[in-house]
Amino acid sequence: MKILVTGGAGFIGSHVAEHYIKAGEDVVVLDNLSRMRLLGTHARNALYNWNYLHENYAKIQLVKGDVRRLEEVKRVSKGVDAIVHAAAQVAVTTSLKNPLLDFEINARGTLNVLEAARINDAAIVYTSTNKVYGENVNKIPVKKRGKRYYFADAKYKNGIDEDFPVDLCGHSPYGCSKLAADLYVQDYGSTYGMKTGVFRLSCIYGERQVGVEDQGWLSWFAIATLTNKHLTIYGDGKQVRDALWVDDLVSAFDKFIRSKLRHEVFNIGGGPKNTLSLLELLDLMQKLTGKRAKISFTEWRKADQRVYVSAIPKIWRKLKWKPRVRLSAGVERMLTWVSENLTLFP
């Protein structure tokens, strides 16, 4: 196969590119290298995954380009069999400051990628988000137990499934732009008969993730813990997420691309067996490293979900996929990677 990975210099995209080049496929990466500008990160770490691919995989074709420019996308996608669309504006905070830019990248950029996929009759995997469910998730009653919240309604003991409502609630501009793109991907599948997979991601983490306060919280907590940086916790720290090791996510993408399924929507994350709160993560990292980051608390962020856990029975039924890396083991591996690359975090 020939695979195009948009956003291939990012955390998820670079792992997708690495997976397929190791599998002997032809891989093209498209990225505009805007992470430094969008998230205010240091050039040393903003370009890390681009340089990593360049230095380790000479056969990957690296193209600096922008999904907002349709002709560029058409040109680089010529002859591809599948597109994994991971290019995005990824932070809620950035979307609140600049909703027009957020829309142009996430919604218009996705429409351009869909047009390129339609021209090439290529399968497409879209990295959507749990934020499409917006504040509807917070309408589920929660209770506190120890250092975490949990859903009080037994209906959601296995998490949020794909039929959960997305309407009549706040989302943030980021949630809106990702939902618009999510719906377009679904519609191109049904209208044009394309092979489309929408993956609504919970928290993805792993090696080569350079988290910041606004995005990639598990990685950011690891970096702060090991470099003695200050952590601000928005809310009380008892908010809970499920977390998924990045290689498990890439495995799910690959299973879909190689399957006979035509168009599907999947919620994907670590599921109920791989959850933790912010405070529990701090405890785990202290246990593993002997260090604890200095923290302070402030007000909840707009549209933050008290609890979000992915229900993953559908993806098991359809693709025979489930997480393989346990959360505690994954956190330990991530901490090891951060400790071996401390020069990336000035």
Q: What's the gap between Cα 123 and its chain centre?
A: 19
Give the residue carrying structure tokens 């598990």.
Answer: 218
Identify whether 133 is a catalytic site residue.
no
pLDDT at 40: 66
* Crossing angle for the helix pair 217-227 and 327-340, to the nearest 10 degrees: 50
Whole-angstrom Cα distance, residue 248 to residue 205?
A: 10
How does strand 2-6 pair with strand 82-85?
A: parallel
267 CB neighbour count, 10 Å cutoff? 29
DSSP state of 213: T
Scanning the chain, the segments in alpha helix (DSSP H) are: 11-22, 35-39, 43-46, 48-56, 70-76, 92-97, 99-103, 109-120, 173-192, 217-227, 246-258, 278-289, 313-319, 327-340
Give me the torsion for CA of 124, 127, 133, 138, rounded to 10°.
160
Domain range summary for the chain, segments of one domain joined by +:
2-300+307-344
Question: Are the CB atoms for 309 and 241 separated by under 8 Å?
Answer: yes
Whole-prediction pTM:
0.97
- Shortest CA distance to 76 belongs to which of 178, 7, 177? 7
CATH topology of domain 2-300+307-344: Rossmann fold (3.40.50)
- pLDDT of the chain, 346 residues: tens digit per residue: 999 999 999 999 999 999 999 999 999 999 999 887 777 666 677 799 999 999 999 999 999 999 999 999 999 999 999 999 999 999 999 999 999 999 999 999 999 999 999 999 999 999 999 999 999 999 999 999 999 999 999 999 999 999 999 999 999 999 999 999 999 999 999 999 999 999 999 999 999 999 999 899 999 999 999 999 999 999 999 999 999 999 999 999 999 999 999 999 999 999 999 999 999 999 999 999 999 999 999 999 887 899 999 999 999 999 999 999 999 999 999 999 999 999 998 8
Whole-angstrom Cα distance, residue 182 to residue 49?
A: 26
Question: Are the CB atoms for 67 and 29 separated by under 8 Å?
Answer: no
Which of 133, 174, 184, 308 is the catalytic position? 174
